[in-house]
Chains A and B, each alone.
Chain A
Amino acid sequence: MSVATGTTAMRQTGVRSKPLPLLPFIELVMLAALVATPFVLASRPELITLMTNVLILSLLALSFDLCWGFSGIMSYGQALFFGVAGYVVALVGRDLDFSQMWGTLPLAMLIGALLAAALAAFLLLGRKTPTSIFVAFGTLTGAYAAERLVAGWQYVGAGNGLSSIKLMALGSYEFVEGFEFYSVALAALVIFYLLSRMIARSQLGLVLAGMRQNEERLAFFGYRVQVFKALIFTFSGAIAGLSGALYSYHQGFTGPTNLGPGLSTTAVIYCLFGGSGTLIGPVIGTIAIELLSYVLADTDAIRQFWPVILGVVLLVVVMFQPTGLLGLVVSARERIGSFGARRRAG
C-alpha cells in the first residue's frame, strides 16, 4: 500500500489506492484485550465471571451473524439450539453423572447442529423458496414452542429449570468460575471465530456474498442457494449449542428462558448493535451491551431506570445506524470484502 508512490501509471491502469483495511486491526486489538482481561482484572473475580459470560454470549451472537449477516437467514431460533444443548449437558450430568468436556461439548455442538439441520430441512429446503418472514416466523415459533414445552415438563425441572449442574470437568479437574473457565470460553470463541472467518473469506463466502445481494440470480449460475443457507444454518446451530453448554456449566443453572424467543432476540440485538456481517461486530456488540448494563445497573443515581436508558441507546443505534457500531469506522466495501486470488491493492 503506497499512497506516496501512487504514480500516474498506477492510475492509468485503474488501480486505485484503497484505504488501509481496518477490520484485521480491530480483530487484533480485541484479541489482545481479551487475552489481557483476566490478568488486568485478577483482583476482581466477579468481573472475570462477568467477562466469561460475555465471551460465551459472544459465541451466540457470532452464530446469529453467520445466519443473518452472512447468509440472509433471519433466525429467531438461535436460543433454541443454545438452550436445548444447555439442558442436554445438564441432564447428562444429572442422570449419567458425566461432564467431561471432551464428551459433552462435542455432544452439545452435535445437538445444536442436528436441531438446526432439522429446522433448515423444514424451513429452507422445501420446494418453494421461503421468504425471510417465513423463516423468521418459523424459527421464532420453534423457540417459543420449545420454551413452553420445557416450562411444563417435570423431568427437566419444568418452570424451575435445572440447578446445581454438575461442573464441567477435564479428567479430575473441575471448572469453577474464574480464570480457567474464562480461558476455555476464550479458546472456544477464538477457534469458532477463526473457522467462521475462514468460511466468510473463502470462495464459499463469495457465494454467500452474492446470495445476500441477489438470491435469484445465483440460482441461474447453477448454485443451490437454499443448500448453502442450510449448511451455514447448521454450522451456526453447532456454535449456538456449544455456547449454550458452556453457559449452563458456567451458571450452574439453566431454565426455560434460555431457549426462548427472548434470548434469541438478545442475540439479534448484540449482532445489530455491534455491526452484522463483520464477525467481530457481534463480539463487540455483546461486550458493549453487557458492560453497559453492568455499569448502568451499578450506578446509584440511575439504578431505578437503567433498562430504559439501555433500551433507548439500543433503539437509537439499531434504527439510525443499521450497520452498527462498526459501520461507523468500517466501509461497506471492506465489510463485504474481495475474494480474488491476487491482492491487487498495490
Chain B
Amino acid sequence: MALLEVSGVTKVYGLLRALDGVDLKVEAGSFHGLIGPNGSGKSTLLKSIAGAHYATTGTVRFDGQDITTAPPYQRSRAGLSFKFQITAVLNDLSVYDNVLLALQSMESNWALLRSRSRQRLDAEVMHALERFRLADRADDLAGELSHGEQQWLEIAMALAPRPKLLLLDEPTGGMSPEERRVTGELLAPIKSECSLIIVEHDLDFIKNICDRLTVLDQGRVLGDGTVAEIGRDARVQEIYTSRV
C-alpha cells in the first residue's frame, strides 16, 4: 500500500475548480515532484494533503488512515510535515527556538510545562541547524535571516520531528542559483529518512532529485510517471513550451 493515496480530490473555490478529480500516489521512500503552470492547483493540492483546507470531495489516505477531514495537528502527529509556499518562520523567536518549537511538539503538555526535554533536545536542535548551515545563526532572530536562509530554516523545522512524508511547496522560491544548488545538495540525503512531495518550477532541479513526477494543469492530472517518462510526454512538453 502506498504511503499517501489521494483519490478523486476536488477543491472548489466559488465558481473555480482549483482541483478536479486529482489522483496521486506516493510510495514510502520515494521523492515525488509536482509540476505544472502557475495556478494549476499545486499549492491547493498540498494544502488538501496537509489540512490547511479540506477537499470538497474525494479522499486523502495517509499511512493507512483516512485523513480527508482530520485537523492539521492530527496529520502532523501522524507523520506529515508541511512547508508553506510563503515562508512562515517565527520572526521574533531565535533560529534555535524555531527549531526547538518544531522538535518538542510530541511532548505532553505536562512535560512542556516542566521543560523536561530542553536539555535532551539541545543536541538535536544543533544537529538540525548544522545540517542546514544555520548553526552560527542560532542566536539570531529568524526574522534577521536572508530569504534563502529562512527557506532552509523552514525545511529544517519541517524535518525536525522526523516526518514520514515531507511536503515542500517551492522551497527554492526567491533563491539565487547558488542557493538552489546547495538546497538540492541538502535535500538529497533526506531520502533515507522520509518520502517527499516537492513543488518546484525549476525542471532541472526537480529532475535531479525526484523519482517520479506528476504534472498538473488546470486542476487535473495531465501526466504521471518516472522522470524519463514525463520528459518524453508530448502534452507535458507542450504546456511547458507554450505557457511557462
Interface residue? A228 (CB, 8 A)? yes
- Cα separation A214 to B51 with both chains bound (whole Å): 16
Assess whether A315 is interfacial by the CB under 8 Å rule: no
Q: What's the nearest-Cβ distance from chain B to residue A292, in Å? A: 31
CB proximity of B230 to chain A, nearest CB, Å: 29
Is B138 among interface residues, defined by CB-CB distance under 8 A? yes
Report the bound CA distance from A231 to B140 in whole Å: 30
Quick one: closest A residue to B103, CB to CB?
A221
CB distance from B103 to the nearest CB of A (A): 9
Name the residue in A13, A210, A221, A341 with the highest tally of chain B Cβ atoms < 10 Å from its Cβ.
A221
Q: Say which residue of B77, B81, B139 sits within 8 Å of A344 (CB atoms).
A: B139
Bound Cα distance A2, B4 (Å):
53
User: Which of A14, A207, A333, A340 is the one whose CB lies under 8 Å from B136?
Assistant: A14
Q: How many A residues, CB 8 Å from partner?
A: 37
B169: shortest Cβ distance to chain A, in Å?
A: 12
Instruction: Determine the distance from Cα of A316 to Cα of B104 in the docked complex, in whole angstroms.
Output: 41
A19 to chain B, nearest CB (A): 14
Closest Cβ of chain B to A11, distance in Å, is 11
Whether A338 contacts B102 by the Cβ 8 Å rule is no
Q: Which of A13, A207, A216, A219 contacts B101 (CB 8 A)?
A: A207
Q: Mark B128-157, 1 if CB is under 8 A from A, else 0.
A: 000000001111110000000000000001
Contact A231 B109 (CB under 8 A): yes
Known contacts A14-B137, A206-B101; is-contact A217 B117 (Cβ 8 Å) = no
Complex Cα–Cα for A16 and B161 (A): 29
A16/B139 in contact, CB under 8 A: yes
Q: Does A153 contact B (CB under 8 A)?
A: no
Residue A317 at the B interface, CB < 8 A? Answer: no
Within 8 A of B (CB), among A222-245: 222-225, 227-228, 231
Q: How far is the CA of A265 from the CA of B145 in the complex (A)?
A: 39
Instruction: Give residues 76-90 of B contacting A (CB, 8 Å).
Output: 76-77, 81-82, 84, 88, 90
The answer to whether A199 touches B106, judged by C-beta atoms less than 8 angstroms apart, is: no
- A222 CB contact (under 8 Å) in B77, B93, B116, B139: B77
CB distance from A327 to the nearest CB of B (A): 14
CB-contact partner of A206 in B97, B106, B138, under 8 A: B97
The answer on a CB contact under 8 Å between A341 and B141 is no
CB-CB nearest in chain A for B157: A221
Q: Mark A314-346, 1 if CB is under 8 A from B, else 0.
A: 000000000000000000110010111110110
The answer to whether the Cβ of B114 comes within 8 Å of any Cβ in the partner chain is: yes
Question: Quick check: is A108 within 8 A (CB to CB) of the other chain?
Answer: no
Whether A338 lies near B97 (C-beta < 8 A) is yes
The minimal Cβ–Cβ distance linking B228 to chain A, given in whole angstroms, is: 34
Residues of B within 8 A of A344 (CB): 138-139
Nearest CB in chain A: distance from B140 CB, A: 7
A202 touches B114 (CB 8 A): yes
Known interface pairs A213-B92, A336-B92; A221-B101 also in contact (CB < 8 Å): yes
Alpha-carbon distance A228/B73, docked complex (angstroms): 13
**Docked pose: A134 CA to B232 CA in angstroms:** 54
Tell me which of A222, A338, A340, A341 contacts B106 (CB under 8 A).
A222
Q: Which of chain A's residues have a CB closer than 8 A to the CB of B104?
A: 203, 206-207
- Check A220–B50 contact: CB distance below 8 A: yes
Asked if B15 is at the interface of the complex by the 8 Å CB criterion, the answer is no
Contact B100–A206 (Cβ < 8 Å): yes
Residues on A with C-beta less than 8 A from B111 are 203
Q: Does A295 contact B (CB under 8 A)?
A: no
Counting CB contacts under 8 A, is A209 at the interface?
yes
A residues adjacent to B (C-beta < 8 A): 13-16, 199, 202-204, 206-207, 209-210, 213-214, 216-225, 227-228, 231, 332-333, 336, 338-342, 344-345
Task: List, sorted by A's number, 26 A–B pairs whose CB atoms are closer than 8 Å.
Answer: A13-B136, A14-B136, A14-B138, A202-B113, A203-B107, A203-B111, A203-B113, A206-B104, A207-B104, A210-B101, A213-B91, A217-B88, A217-B90, A219-B72, A220-B82, A221-B73, A221-B102, A221-B105, A221-B157, A224-B73, A225-B73, A336-B92, A339-B97, A340-B96, A340-B138, A345-B139
A-B CB proximity, top 4 nearest = A222-B76, A14-B136, A341-B122, A204-B112
Beyond A203-B117, A206-B97, A221-B101, 5 additional contacts (C-beta under 8 Å) are A203-B100, A203-B111, A223-B73, A227-B109, A338-B93
